[in-house]
Amino acid sequence: MPARASRFKALQGAALPEYAPPDPATGVSTMRPALAFALSIALAGPVAAQDPCGMGGCADAGTAITDPLSAEERRLSEREVFLLASEILAVSGLVNTFKIEETMEVLNAAAYLEDQERWIGFNPLWVRQFRDLPTNDRWPLYAVVAHEIGHHLLGHTIVRGGSRPATELQADEFAGFALHALGANLAQAQALWQDFGATGSATHPARGLRLAAVEKGWRASAGRAGLALPGDATDPDDTAPSIRQRPDAATPGDTGAQAAPAVPAETRPHDTIRPEMSERAVCAPLPKGGLRGRVCASSALGVDHVARLTDNDRRAPWTEQEPGPGSGSRMLFDFATSISAQRLTVVNGDNTDEKAFRRHARLEGLTLRGSNGHERVIVVRDNRREQTWTLAGFEGVDWIEVIVDSVIEGRRYDTLAVARLRID
């Protein structure tokens, strides 16, 4: 166990909480077992010993949880938390400079300082349970990391005293703000807090206050985008999506994005220069029945090869043709008219079968850049399922560039494969 992680006291008699996806009828997630302090996110200040208080309450010191994970699983979990932190910080225009480590001495995550550096420690067992869940069932994991980032950004980790109701509410509010910016609706943003204790304590506020803080941050994010807020502010089960869209943009049930009214170039405040593609770039028309325009890849075997990015055949992938595993590859979605993008859909790797999937390099981290100046960092999970993200902030764009920041290298082939990468 890393030496710095010993600052945390283990939690006695507390089983690791298992995340349960939202109930289809209520949209509310539950944790099992439903302990008042089951979700312990320790707030560690600059002193060596901290109380084991966290996001959901406090517990007595005891024996550390046994670590059944392999070294490879622990490495992958650490990388995933780092990328999640990068994605959360990117919506605030910040670069991720946090240090990330795994520790079995907290139930899920903790924020603390060590040698004048900001650390987030996490329990890889808690992270692992989210690895293969659909995007919309992973919001509690985003909420945990966002809450800890909030403690760092708000200066809580440089103040002695551990957890206090006021600082917990501030971190909750930041988490709500970040979750809206990432595309969570209000019910998804509040899911993590639903099982917290109804009454407060000397260190933690009551559940109602915490849910209100998350909602306050969520709505502040929507208001900052200059939007009409979806849903009734008094309804805790508000499921209206947090898509930053123009009044005439597509509704959440639409299968494609609506074309936004054309805006003269000289009046667009954040237009950026259209990126230049290399001589090896190949372009293909976007599929009929959707957005009009083309998609270009920085390298490809031909037009039909590029078209594989947006077709419905997940067993025929696009593969990059440059030397190396694919980091730095680029795709450019060039639209015929200005559009308000609604979602990104990705099917990672070569989906011919599981063996082909593991043999080729796969996507890990992406950056999306729009013609309106908006940027978004995306963390792609390493599985064969379809993954989707709400593209809040990409309204009135003429083009969106997709940059491959990092990949997971293949076991056999030094080639990046992507079965689907589509913007609607």
Of 23 and 279, more confident: 279
Residue 352 lies in a domain: yes
Q: Quote the CA–CA distance of 319 and 350 in Å, as a whole number.
A: 9
Q: 337: pLDDT confidence band, cut at 50, 70 and 90?
A: very high
pLDDT of residue 210 exceeding 70: yes
Residues 343-400 have pLDDT tens digits of: 899 999 999 999 999 999 999 889 999 999 888 888 888 889 898 888 878 989 999 9
DSSP 157-170: GGSSS---HHHHHH
| pLDDT over 60 at 142, yes or no | yes
* pLDDT level of residue 197 (50, 70, 90 thresholds): confident
Q: What's the half-sphere exposure (Cβ side, CA atoms, 13 Å) at 364?
A: 20
- 213 — pLDDT class (breaks 50, 70, 90): very high
Give the residue among 335, 371, 339, 333 at the shortest CA–CA distance from 259.
Answer: 339
- In terms of domains, do 215 and 273 share one? no
12 in a structural domain: yes
Residue 103 within any structural domain of the chain = yes
Q: What is the mean pLDDT of residues 69-84?
A: 76
The answer to whether residue 318 is domain-embedded is yes
User: Are 216 and 338 in a shared domain?
Assistant: no
- 360 and 301 in a common domain: yes
> What CATH number corresponds to the domain at position 389?
2.60.120.260
Segment 167-184 shows an average pLDDT of: 92
Same domain, 353 and 293: yes
Q: What is the pLDDT of residue 363?
A: 93
pLDDT of residue 56: 52
Percentage of residues in the chain having pLDDT higher than 70: 70
Assess whether pLDDT exceeds 90 at residue 150: yes
pLDDT at 356: 92
Mean pLDDT of 197-209: 86
Instruction: Tell me how many domains the chain contains.
Output: 2
Contacts of 314 (CB under 8 A, 6+ apart): 347, 351, 386, 419, 420
Say if residue 277 is in the same domain as residue 356. Answer: yes
3-state SS of the chain: helix, strand, coil percent to 5? 25, 25, 50
Task: Rank 19-23, 70-74, 304-308 by mean pLDDT and report only the highest.
Answer: 304-308
Q: How far is CA 260 from CA 118, 143, 334, 375, 414, in A?
A: 42, 32, 15, 19, 40
Specify if 92 maps to a domain.
yes
The last residue of one of the domains, among 170, 199, 224, is 224
Q: State the average pLDDT for the chain.
A: 75
Q: What are phi and psi of 298, to 5 degrees?
A: -65, -20
More confident residue, 26 or 320: 320
Asked if residue 280 has pLDDT above 80, the reply is yes
Do both 12 and 130 map to the same domain? yes
Q: Are 174 and 274 within one domain? A: no
pLDDT of residue 221: 86
pLDDT at residue 2 tops 80: no
Residue 75: the pLDDT is 67
Domain that holds residue 369: 265-423
- Cβ-Cβ contacts under 8 Å for 175 (sequence gap 6 or more): 143, 146, 147, 150, 189, 214, 217
Residue 168 and residue 277 in one domain: no
Average confidence (pLDDT) over 81-87: 87
- pTM score, two decimals? 0.61
What DSSP line would sit under 260-274, residue for residue? PPP--GGG-TT--PP
The pLDDT of 40-46, averaged and rounded, is 34
Same domain, 315 and 391: yes
Per-residue pLDDT at 15 exceeds 70? no
Residue 154 shares a structural domain with residue 286? no
Residue 238 lies in a domain: no
> Which pLDDT score is estimated for 12?
28
The amino acid that residue 163 corresponds to is S
For 248, the 3-state DSSP assignment is coil
> Does residue 22 share a domain with residue 170?
yes
Q: Is residue 277 part of a domain?
A: yes
**Range in 76-85, 166-175, 294-303, 313-322 with the lowest mean pLDDT:** 76-85
264 pLDDT band, cuts 50/70/90, is very low
Q: Does a structural domain hold residue 245? A: no
Which DSSP letter does residue 136 get?
G
Average pLDDT over residues 302-325: 91
The token pair that represents 71 in the structure block? 């070294």
| 148 or 53: which leads in pLDDT | 148
What is the reported pLDDT for 151?
A: 93
Residue 401 binned pLDDT confidence (cut-offs 50, 70, 90): very high
Ranges of H-type helices in 15-93: 71-90
Last residue in a domain, options 170, 193, 224: 224
Asked if residue 402 and residue 353 are part of one domain, the reply reads yes
- Tell me what the mean pLDDT of segment 62-77 comes to: 60
